[in-house]
Amino acid sequence: MKIPQPTFVLQNNPYMSITKEKLDFTQRELEVLHLIKEGLSSREIAKAMDMSENTVETYRRNMIKKSGAKNMVVVVYAAQSCGLI
């Protein structure tokens, strides 16, 4: 029996549903996501993780693209709702 994956639905809009499977991020992306959740800017994250600000922005874009979210706010909220962070 297949257990359904938890799904986050933004404002009850089925076209904005993000499943946990879509949140298949690398370990480094998850580290960046956690710091975004904590309220750090890209510049602060870059300094904390010893990488360029450009690299942080690339991680942000990749997470938005992978998840199909509209922006990082939706990614963070979906990841929290699914228990990823």
Give the pLDDT of residue 59: 98
Give the pLDDT of residue 12: 55
Bridge partners (DSSP) listed for residue 18 = 8
Give the pLDDT of residue 4: 57
Domains defined for the chain, CATH in brackets: 21-81 (1.10.10.10)
Task: Give CA–CA dist 33/38, Å, rounded.
Answer: 9
C-beta of residue 66 within 8 angstroms of C-beta of residue 57: no
Give the pLDDT of residue 82: 84
C-beta of residue 34 within 8 angstroms of C-beta of residue 85: yes
At residue 68, the 3 state secondary structure works out as coil
pTM: 0.79
- Extract the residue ranges of the chain whose pLDDT is less than 70: 1-16
Give the pLDDT of residue 85: 87
Give the pLDDT of residue 25: 94
